Every structure is written in C-alpha cells, then in structure tokens.
Chains A and B, each alone.
Chain A
Amino acid sequence: MGATTTGTDLHAGKLRALRALIASHKRWDLFFASVGVLALMFGILAFVALFFDMAVDGVPRITPDFFASFPSRRAENAGILSAWVGSTLVMLVTALAAVPLGVGAGVYLEEYAPRNWMTDVIEINVTNLAGVPSIVYGLLALGLFVYQFGLGQSILTAGLTLALLILPVVIVATREAIRAIPVAIREGAYALGASKWQTTHDHIIPYSMAGILTGVIIGLARAIGETAPIITIGALTFIAFLPPPPVQATAPFVNFEWLTSPFTVMPIQMFNWTSRPEEAFQANAAAAGLVLVVMTLVMNALAIYIRYRLRRNIKW
C-alpha cells in the first residue's frame, strides 16, 4: 500500500514537472508572438498614419476638376491632368519595352542558355541590377537616350529609362515563374517530340504567364512612383499642355508624335508642389500623393487578380 502511494506521488511529481516545463516553453511562444505583433504593427501603423494624414489634407482637393486641370500658379485651379496623362503614357512605353525584353531574356536564360561561367556571371549581374539606385539609371539614360541617341527629354526616353529600371524585376519574375513548372510537364512535352521552341511556346510561356504578368505589374507599380531618374533625364515640372493624341481622325490614324513630346509625371508634379511655400499647394501635393498611392494599390490588386485568374486552371 505504502509503495503504491509513493508510486502515485512520484507519478504526480513527474507530471507537475512536465507541465512546468511545457508552461515555460509556452512563455517563449507568448513572448515571440508579442514581439511579432509589435513589429508588424510598427510597419502597418506607420503606413496607415501617413496615408490618413495625406487623405485628410488631400481628399477635399480630389474633385473632377483636379483631374481635368493643368497645373496653375493659383493652387485652387491647379490639377494633375498633364501628370496623370504623362504617367500613363510613360507606363505604356515602359510596359511595351520591358515585357518583350524581360520575358525574352528570362526565357532564354532559363530554357536556352548553356550552363557555363558566362551565364553564371550574367545571372548574378541581373540580380544585382535590381539593387542599382534608380538615379544611376537616370544618369545612364541622360547620356545614352537623351544625348547619344538624340531622343530628347521625351516620353520615349522616360519610358525606356523606367523599362531598364524594372527589367531585372521582370527577368527574375519570369525565371521564377518558369522554374515553378514541374520538370515532368517539360519532359512530357519533349517526350512527344517537341522541339525547344515548341515546348517554350506551347507550354513554358503560357504556364508561367501568371507569374510573368504579376512581375510586370509589380515592376510598373514601382516605376510609376520613380522620381529621381525622371528628373535626371530632364522632365519638366510645369507642363500646361497635353502630348499629341496617339490616334487621330485622319489617315494614317495613328500618330507617334506623343513619344517625342515633353511631359511630366505624377511624382514630379507632387515634388513640385511640395517645394512651394503656400499651404494650399501642400494640399494639392497630398491629393496627388493619394492618387498615386491608389494607382499603385490598384495595380497590385490587378496583379493579384490576374494571378488568381490564370492559375485557376493550373494545379501542381
């Protein structure tokens, strides 16, 4: 009887020790969770505070007129017409230049390039290019596009500069999307006698399209907010006219003069207004900033939507 009691006591003691041990382990869970929440909140709250501060200042200025007016010396008449049109056209050029170049380079590196030291060097450098400060691209573009090629301080120059800037993003996104395709799918195509190009065209590119488009849009969302390289190539800060429209009523119906037109973009317009002393221009800057943030968020939402739509049919 005595032996049994001792046994039970021993058992209870062991259990107590075990529970104490688990409790002490769980204290660390609680500790890390608290630290994690703090870290998360720091970032999110900072953004939310900034956004609301900007919204409070800017929302009253966001009227249809704000989108339809050119900049003006009088803050209450000033708008972002030339800025958002300029941003849109520059993004168009950027996308048209970056997508074929980036996707082509990514597909080549992943599917065609032989594995040797040359491609290793190129691969490392493509990744490094993503970290080059954007103003350096601006300097490069000033020398190459503006002076060497004589493209001037135009929409074309800005679009090509930003295309260079996001090219690494597009290349890396393309390669990652391609790598996500299982080897078995690729081998399945080759086993039916497909050539490299047939495999690439019929399988690799379509199946990696979701990832590629996501990368492109995220790249564009970065490019739309870029200020430094655009200033470097000499975008004007005060533009009170629109570029010639790309389509016209008379033959040949399309017009490429807009490519060579001077321009401004959203962040430059914003930068211009923030440097003015009058309070009213600060409100304009806040409103333009709000529009820019919303444009970026919409682009990111679009990226998520496209990814979801295109990946719906692909399961692996």
Chain B
Amino acid sequence: MSAVLKTALPVRESPAPESLALKAEAKGLDFYYGAFKALKNLHMPVYEKKVTALIGPSGCGKSTFLRSFNRMHDLYPGNRYQGEIRMYPDNVNILAPDVDPIEVRMRISMVFQKPNPFPKTIYENVAYGMRVRNINRKSTVDEKVEKALREAALWMEVKDRLHDLAFNLSGGQQQRLCIARALATDPEMLLFDEPTSALDPIATASIEELVDELRQRVTILIVTHNMQQAARISDYTAYMYLGEIIEFGETDQIFIKPRNKQTEDYITGRFG
C-alpha cells in the first residue's frame, strides 16, 4: 500500500531545515462552541512560504482550527478560544482579547469552501480589500487588481470584461477570483477552507496549480477533504481527529511512513 502511494507522490526535493522560518504557531489551543470543546490542546507550527494541509474526517475540527487563524469565530456569540496562536516575526498572540480581529484578518486572508464572490463586478470584487483599507486612487487600485488577477491566473480570461458581474464567471473562475481578492492586499498568510470541494476536476487542477505557485510568495494553510490533494500540494500535513492533532509532519513522511496507526488507517482509506 505504501509502495503504491510512494510512486504516486510528486517528487519534491526536501527543503534544508535551516531555511525554515516560523510564520505562526498554535500553542495549547483549545476552542469551544458554547460548552462543546471542538479543539483540544493543539500544537502546530506553520512554516513561512510553505503549504501546510489539515486533513481528517468530517467533524474533526480542521475547519474550526483554520478559522481560528483569522478570528472568524469572533463573528458569532458563544465561541471561546484558549491558548495561543503566535504569529511571527512580531511574536504576537493573535487570539489575545486585546488584538483586534480586524487587524488579524487584514494580515491573514481567507478563501472559502464555495466560491463567494460579491454580487459586484469582477474589478470591484478584487478591489474590495483595498476599499476597506481606504485605498481609492484609481491608478493604484487598477495596478493591484491586475497584479492580483495575474497571480490568480485569471487575468487573461477576464481582462476584457473586468466590469462584468462576477456571477457570470464559471465556478472555477469564481474561486480564482476569490483567491485574487484575497491576494490583492498582500496578506502574510492565506487560509484555504476546502477550496475545491465545490469544483469539477479540471477547475480543481487549476486551483491546485495555483496553490503550488503561490507558495513562493505567501504562507498557505489549507483544509482539504481530499487526501490526494494534500499529498499533491502540501509540504506539511497535520492529521486531525476528534479535535486533536494526531500527527503532524512533512507531507511525504505522513503519507509514506505515518508514525501513528490512526493516521495510517485514515490515509490508506481504512476509514474516513
């Protein structure tokens, strides 16, 4: 079984450990939805300009963990964090009550499960992050919109219809538009919450290709339901189960020689 997986894995030279820099780190993170403890004492590093994947069966808390990184849970009453997520280089605990969630969200962008473009034009979708930051000079916005759309590999397809409604794009294009929207404000980190689960295989492949290119510019944390996807695009993988991180390691190690029996059972498809 592991031999089959090994040959199916993309060949990637292992990074020299000394080139690794921490971008963020969960330290003893607990999370509660009301009285329900959804995350239990999570410890996990997120390395700069690497792709870290969170995998695990439904309900294991991977999305909850991801959404802690941009304080999405603060939007709803009754949610509570305990412990820390430290962000570097400034070494601030982004979960601290005195840290404004808006500041965290301005530094860490997010792409959602289903494409969620605003019912506005393609241009205004990408420009919205700048509007929020009071960047309104047309030349600056034009330039950033183009750059973001190029980075999201969408520019060639939409450059002649920037003022069309975003809803007229296909599902895969809409998701790339959402990626462009997230990139336009130069985030330090990008969160992906199962970004391809609503897309067909071809659109999925284009998003995966994009993630692969983006790793050179930005730190990426991605939740995926699809283990092959995690194996294809991530440098590091955390396997979660029932709110705990069962195993974290380099993706190759997790998929070829998992140390934990549960991880092995999950990735070899024995359950999940």
Q: B119, A202: Cβ atoms under 8 Å? A: no
Inside 8 A of B131's CB, which chain A residues have their CB?
Answer: 202
Cα separation A198 to B109 with both chains bound (whole Å): 17
The smallest C-beta distance from A275 to any residue of chain B, in angstroms, reads 52
Inside 8 A of A185's CB, which chain B residues have their CB?
Answer: 116, 118-119
A190 touches which of B103, B105, B133, B181 (Cβ 8 Å): B105
Q: A207, B116: Cβ atoms under 8 Å? A: no
Q: B109, A191: Cβ atoms under 8 Å? A: yes
Inside 8 A of A188's CB, which chain B residues have their CB?
Answer: 112, 116-118, 178, 181
Q: A189, B110: Cβ atoms under 8 Å? A: no
Mask, A185-219, CB within 8 Å of B = 1, is: 11111111111001000110001000000000000
The smallest C-beta distance from B216 to any residue of chain A, in angstroms, reads 23
Q: A182, B132: Cβ atoms under 8 Å? A: no
| A184 at interface by CB-CB < 8 Å | yes
| B165 at interface by CB-CB < 8 Å | yes
| A244 at interface by CB-CB < 8 Å | no
Cα separation A182 to B115 with both chains bound (whole Å): 12
**Residue in A closest to B104 when the chains form the complex, CB atoms:** A193
| B106 at interface by CB-CB < 8 Å | yes
A194-B132 contact, Cβ under 8 Å, with A114-B77, A187-B112, A188-B112: yes
Q: B112, A184: Cβ atoms under 8 Å? A: yes
A192-B128 contact, Cβ under 8 Å, with A184-B112, A314-B119: yes
| B72 at interface by CB-CB < 8 Å | yes
Cα separation A202 to B132 with both chains bound (whole Å): 10
Q: B116, A193: Cβ atoms under 8 Å? A: no
Q: B118, A193: Cβ atoms under 8 Å? A: no
Q: A192, B114: Cβ atoms under 8 Å? A: no
Q: B181, A192: Cβ atoms under 8 Å? A: yes
| B185 at interface by CB-CB < 8 Å | yes
The smallest C-beta distance from A21 to any residue of chain B, in angstroms, reads 41
A313 touches which of B112, B119, B133 (Cβ 8 Å): B119
Cα separation A314 to B116 with both chains bound (whole Å): 12
Interface centre among A186, A198, A313 (most CB of B within 10 A): A313
| A115 at interface by CB-CB < 8 Å | yes
Inside 8 A of A192's CB, which chain B residues have their CB?
Answer: 105-106, 109, 128-129, 132, 181-182, 185
The smallest C-beta distance from B181 to any residue of chain A, in angstroms, reads 7
Mask, A166-194, CB within 8 Å of B = 1, is: 00000000000000001011111111111
A187-B72 contact, Cβ under 8 Å, with A115-B77, A192-B181, A315-B167: yes
Cα separation A101 to B94 with both chains bound (whole Å): 38
Interface centre among B110, B116, B133 (most CB of A within 10 A): B116
A193-B185 contact, Cβ under 8 Å, with A184-B114, A313-B165, A315-B167: yes
Inside 8 A of B72's CB, which chain A residues have their CB?
Answer: 187, 190-191
Q: A193, B114: Cβ atoms under 8 Å? A: no
The smallest C-beta distance from A181 to any residue of chain B, in angstroms, reads 10
| B205 at interface by CB-CB < 8 Å | no
Inside 8 A of B77's CB, which chain A residues have their CB?
Answer: 114-115
Mask, A105-140, CB within 8 Å of B = 1, is: 000000000110000000000000000000000000
Cα separation A232 to B75 with both chains bound (whole Å): 47
The smallest C-beta distance from A250 to any residue of chain B, in angstroms, reads 41
Inside 8 A of A195's CB, which chain B residues have their CB?
Answer: 102, 132
Mask, A295-316, CB within 8 Å of B = 1, is: 0000000000000000001111
Closest 8 CB pairs of A and B: A193-B106, A184-B116, A191-B110, A188-B116, A314-B119, A192-B129, A193-B105, A194-B132
What 7 new A-B contacts, CB under 8 Å, besides A194-B102, A195-B102? Answer: A184-B114, A190-B105, A191-B112, A192-B109, A192-B128, A194-B128, A203-B118
Residues of B within 8 A of A (CB): 70, 72, 75, 77, 102-103, 105-106, 109-110, 112-114, 116-119, 128-129, 131-133, 165, 167, 178, 181-182, 185
